[in-house]
Amino acid sequence: LCKLDGTSNKSRLGANAIVATSLAVAKAAASTARLPLYRYLGGPSAYLMPVPMLNIINGGVHAGNELAFQEFMIVPVGADKFSEALRIAVEVYYELKDVLKKKYGALAVNVGDEGGFAPPMKTSREALDALMKAITGAGYSESEVVLALDVAASQIYKDGKYYVDGVKLNAEELLEYYLQLFSEYPIKSIEDPFMEEDYEYFKLLTAKVRGKVLVVGDDLYTTNPQRLRRGIEMKATTAVLVKVNQVGTLTEALQVVDMAHKAGMKTIISHRSGETEDTTIAHLAIAVRSGLIKTGAPARGERTAKYNELLRIEEELGSQAEYPGVDAFKIMTV
């Protein structure tokens, strides 16, 4: 397909047509082999279930509130299996709904594109405090449900400054702000903490929190092998977000995953803010043993389709299925 297209950005045949064809061919091959897609792609070692990172408070460009950060996520690590983890997440989600409704009113619990809530909050700590209240209110501890952030910092960057919680910060001040948040909340992952060309500050933050907090590149890499190679050489991050339709074919996505894993980086298989009910990424997360998946809140059909598929796969795997829990955040050794 790439050879037929012949362009660097797949503009001749069209990226959407190419990715759809790529996924269709993979599914047809799996069907011909009478194997589920995760087994066809991953072989006999495809039995590690991913830990879900559920975006349940929305901010940034995905919401109409004043929150600077784009995603505030819960991650149910204190479970023995995926189905139990999803149940925990759903309980926290509905507890959060009650917390927000009582404090901000009924309009605060309308859901956004990814199924999360977009309450009229102004600061990151306000959102994080609400998540912690929902976690404890649902009967869980911060060792059972941890937090993750997607800052999408390129969206809050202008003229050399980051606009966070009503304050202008330079990169050094923003880095210190993150370190404060990490000391106050059980945050295990932060995505795109700086604007997408600032490899140096990604590297600085990674060096400070290595082994404690995953630093994830999404806008930094855009599932692009050339950008990822630079990040690997600089040790800019400890994880990369992988989006199949961003790179254009399943084959290229698998190549990016392989490159990251060989360098000792974690991979997080991800949906997009605009989604369909296709469940390929559920299979991909298991096939490549990523251990982590981002596919929204437990709401809206295009999000729950992936969770339901993962439940079916876990049931199919039976006792072979493994759920990594907090170990999903451990950095690989190479």
Give the end-to-end CA distance of the chain in Å, rounded to a whole number. 33
Six token digits for residue 46: 């495809």
The torsion defined by the Cα of 111, 115, 121 and 127, in degrees rounded to 10, comes to 150
- Quick one: DSSP state of residue 48? B
Q: DSSP state, 331?
A: P
162/70 Cα distance (integer angstroms): 14
Residue 243 falls in the annotated catalytic set: yes
Rounded distance between C-alpha atoms, residue 124 and residue 193, angstroms: 13
**Partners of residue 73 on adjacent β-strands:** 55, 148
Nearest to 76 by CA among 112, 109, 49, 45: 49
Tokens representing 153 are: 């910092």
Sign for the CA dihedral angle at 50, 54, 60, 64 comes to positive
Candidates 71, 91, 95, 114; catalytic one: 114
- Choosing from 10, 188, 243, 306, the catalytic residue is 243
Residue 188 annotated in active site: no
Q: Order of strands across the sheet with 157-158? A: 157-158, 161-164, 167-169
The answer for residues whose C-beta is within 8 angstroms of residue 233's C-beta and 6 or more apart is none
Separation between Cα atoms, residue 204 and residue 174, nearest integer Å: 12
Backbone angles phi, psi at 288, to 5 degrees: -100, 5
Structure tokens at 47: 């039995």
Buried b (16+ CB within 10 A) or exposed e, 297-312: bbbbebbbbbbebbbe
Query: Helices H, strands E: what count in the chain?
Result: 12, 11
Which residues are marked as active site? 114, 243
